[in-house]
Every structure is written in C-alpha cells, then in structure tokens.
Chain A
Amino acid sequence: MEITHTQYKHCDLVKVKGRIDSYTAPQLAETFNKITDDGRFKIALEMSELDFMSSAGLRALINTQKVCKRYNRGELVLVAIPGNIHAALDLAGFIPLFKIFDDVLSAVGNF
C-alpha cells in the first residue's frame, strides 16, 4: 500500500494505492488521525488505484467519518471508487454515509 497526503487550503487529499488489509489499514488510520489531530476535518480519499480493501479498511473509513462529521466540522468524501470496492461498500451499507465523487477536482471543489 502507498499513501500520498496533500494538504490544500480548504481540505486534505489522501491518495491510496494497492492493498488495504489488516496489515496496512493501521497506516491509513494513522494518516487520517494525523490530519484530524491537526484540527482539519475535510478530507478527500482518492481510490482509483486501490486494488483491494478489507473490512479493516472500512473500519478506518467509518471511524474517520465519525470524527470528521462531529459538530458538523467536516466530512470524509470518497473519490473514484473501483467497482469491486464499491460493491463491498454497498454491501456494508456505507454508500449513504459518504459523498462519492468521480474525480478529485469535484471532490476538492465540494469543500
């Protein structure tokens, strides 16, 4: 798994590539935690080059969304979700909990 974090004025962009499983999910959670510990709660997660995400990854998403949405201070949005991962998010009932964008530009523009 490879994570790239870019801080913009109004939001943070996290791009994740490869495989999120129980071994790598803690790194993703740590990236999110660093951002929210910094008092920043508007995050876009770019997933176009993500091959695999287990429930450990879903856990990082739901925990971060809970922190971000508290006091209406922001939210985590998902960008360019691959088909198989979209099916997993759908089965877990996550689709109504996240705004989903096709590309980074519209995700960043949402904030």
Chain B
Amino acid sequence: MVTRSFPGRYDSLAQIGEFIRGITDKAGLNNFAAYTVEMAVDEACSNIIEHAYGAEDQGPITCTCKVNTKGLTIILEDRGRPFDPELVSEPDVTGELEDRPSHGLGLFFIRQWMDEVEFEFESGNGNRLTLYKKRTTASTKSTRQK
C-alpha cells in the first residue's frame, strides 16, 4: 500500500498522473488500462479541486493505492464539501453538436472506465472516492486504433 498527499491545485495533476503511472506499471496493467486509470484519477482530482474545495489551495488530495493479484484499488480523499454524484446527470454523448454539454464528462469517464466506483462522505472527514480496476478487464480491452 502506498499513500501520497498532493496540494489541491491544478498544477498537481501532472505529478499525480506520474505517481499513478508508476502504480499502474507496478500493477502490471496494459497501456490502455493504465491510461483509463490515469484519466479517472485526473478527472476525480479535478472535481475535488473544483467542487469539493471550490477553488485551488483549499486543502490536500490524499491518494492511497493498493495492488493485489486481482487488480488495483485507488482511494482519493479530500477535506472539502460533500460531493453527491447523484446530482450529476449523465451527459448526452449522442446528440447534435449544439446540444452537447461541455460539463459532466469527467464523472462519466470515471464510471465507464473503472470496474467499481464508490463515493462516501463522513462529516468532519470529507469525501472518499474508491476506484477499482480489475486486471483481467485490462487484458481484454486493448488500445483502439483510429
């Protein structure tokens, strides 16, 4: 198990990405599975800064990673306002250009690309998001080419 804490700022995202790539390498995920994890974590951390904290530099993002034989678990914790995923509607991903929303895609990616997603809020402790990626799914979903 590895835990690291990052300042809740957008310029932490590249460092968080690098940290996650180290973990996905260790977990033996293939290139595409590793990319989906990096993207889910990036989207979650952006949401923490924008929604839970409401601005940059309001608190840390703590990232805990556990690797086992079945897959990879990543826990993201903040000390911000409660985030209720039920309040975010599914984005329209099939309509005409003008009807496409420019927001709400982050959570969509997290839900589509991770095998398990759990949101928890504890008063006084903030939000805890648990992401789980199975290693088996990783090998069946290969990188798609254009």
Contacts and interface: CB of A to CB of B under 8 A. Distances in A.
A22 B146 contact: no
Contact of A54 (B93, B98, B106, B108): B106
A100 B98 CA distance: 19
Interface string B99-114: 0101101101100110
A90 to B, nearest CB: 7
B10 A52 contact: no
A105 interface: no
20 contacts: A19-B14, A22-B10, A22-B13, A22-B42, A22-B46, A22-B50, A23-B14, A52-B38, A55-B106, A59-B102, A59-B105, A62-B97, A63-B102, A65-B97, A66-B98, A88-B39, A91-B93, A92-B108, A97-B97, A102-B146
Closest 10 CB pairs of A and B: A93-B93, A23-B10, A55-B105, A83-B143, A84-B35, A22-B46, A21-B13, A55-B106, A59-B102, A87-B144
A63 B100 CA distance: 9
B140 interface: no
- Classify chain B's interface size: 20 to 34
Interface of A: 19, 21-23, 52, 54-56, 58-59, 62-63, 65-66, 69, 81, 83-84, 86-88, 90-93, 97, 100, 102
Contact of A86 (B14, B38, B100, B144): B144
Contact of A23 (B11, B38, B106, B146): B11
Interface centre among B17, B43, B97 (most CB of A within 10 A): B97
B58 to A, nearest CB: 15
Contact of A21 (B31, B42, B105): B42
Contacts, number: 85
B46 A21 contact: yes
B145 interface: yes
A59 B93 contact: no
A83 B102 contact: no
A84 to B, nearest CB: 4
Contacts of A63: 102
Nearest to A86: B146
A81 B146 contact: yes
Nearest to A101: B146
A83 B144 contact: yes
Nearest to A23: B10
